[in-house]
Amino acid sequence: MIFRVPEYYSEFRCIADRCRDSCCIGWEIEIDPETARLYAQTGGELGSRFRDSIRDNCFVLTPYERCPFLNKQGLCDIYRELGEESLCQICSDHPRYFEWFGSVKEGGIGLCCEEAARVILSGGLGFTETEVPEEECQEYDHELFGYLVLAREVIISHLVRGDLFSEIRSMVDFADELQETIDKGEYMLPEWHESHSGSHADVSDVMGIFTELEPIDEEWIPYINKCLSDIGGYHGLRREHADMLRRITVYFIYRYFLKGTFDGEVVSRVRLAALSAWTVGYLWDCGMRKNQSFGFEECAETAKNYSKEVEYSEDNLELLCDAFYERKCLSADGIKALFGEIS
């Protein structure tokens, strides 16, 4: 089967003890059945630790929400004593993600990891393909999949080559027309056309939606509210951030758009990409107004925090997807208006 990944995929390497926001802290860590059997058969002191530290196929976190095998040096004792091949599936994969479509497997690295965020924000915009052994996948609509592959190619080609902010506006309209064809079962690609911005953007309404989501980090909502308190000084997205926002938009389109193969939904996923690019750009603008030395590292940190709060909560993703249909500020016109304010 074909394994397709962004060209920066192979550049990622876990930075282990140098990570400031470890995925071994604050997350429930499930253990796959095969690895659970390995741990149950392990003897000696490490085996005793496994038996004391695993309940219901999950690691029991310490009172500080650390994985019990994350040592004081910020390194994994399982990795050190048994090797990388003995890590459970989620630890071995993270922050990588995968999706299967028959003879095609797609993968990438998630923006929620600080090192992955650095790679994504500085990496290339192309994709590579290799041959890998066949793997099982769920049933899917082959015709719809082929249609969405072509549609995604159109979207990404415009995002990569055109003026980002105007192409995002066009992308939002393209998605609405695309959804109509899917709903009718008429798989004819609509025309890509220039789209003008909507009415004045209500920034406070848009950012206020994020305060309604369930926070993963207790500092997230106070941070959003602090940015909102400075809203009077906001003059729109910064052109100087366009290249990094382009990478974020392509990341979200690549990662989520083809999920429409399983449910026929594309509008919410395209608006998620647009909203994510705008929101991260807004937070970068807030950061730069507060700190003149706000640079690439701070941009990567902010993008990582956004991804962590939005992408890695199924409930938050679902609430946002509903909001794209229920909130005026996240309608097609509302989102296009956000990309009409550029400084």
| Cis ω before 95 (30° cut-off from 0) | yes
Query: How would you class 78 by CB atoms within 10 Å of its CB: exposed for 0-12, middle for 13-18, buried for 19 or more?
Result: buried
DSSP 328: G
Return the residue matching tokens 């055109």: 162
pLDDT digits (tens, 9 = 90+) for 138-148: 889 999 999 99
**328 to 62, 203, 335: CA distances (angstroms):** 43, 12, 9
Return the residue matching tokens 């994994």: 76
The rounded distance, in Å, linking the Cα atoms of 126 and 108 is: 12
What the block records as the tokens of 194 is 């220039």
What the block records as the tokens of 290 is 């507060």
Q: Measuring CA to CA, which residue among 15, 27, 17 is closest to residue 119?
A: 15
What the block records as the tokens of 40 is 């149950």
- Residues 9, 128 contacting (CB under 8 angstroms): yes
pLDDT at 113: 97
pLDDT at 198: 66
pLDDT at 78: 96
What phi and psi, each to the nearest 5 degrees, are found at residue 25? Answer: -130, 130
Q: Which of 81-101 are b and which e, b meaning 16 or more Cβ less than 10 Å from the residue's Cβ? A: eeeeebbbeebeebbeeebeb
- Residues 60, 75 contacting (CB under 8 angstroms): no
Instruction: Please give the single-letter amino acid code of residue 212.
Output: E
Contacting residues for 328 by C-beta, under 8 A, at least 6 apart: 205, 334
pLDDT at 263: 96
Q: In Å, how far from its chain's centre is CA 146?
A: 23
Instruction: Please give the single-letter amino acid code of residue 284.
Output: W
pLDDT at 232: 64
What the block records as the tokens of 39 is 């741990």
Domain boundaries, the chain: 24-93, 142-338
Neighbours of 239 (CB within 10 A): 13
pLDDT digits (tens, 9 = 90+) for 1-57: 999 999 999 999 999 999 999 999 988 899 999 999 999 999 999 999 999 999 999
Ranges in the chain, pLDDT < 50: none
The rounded distance, in Å, linking the Cα atoms of 296 and 294 is: 7
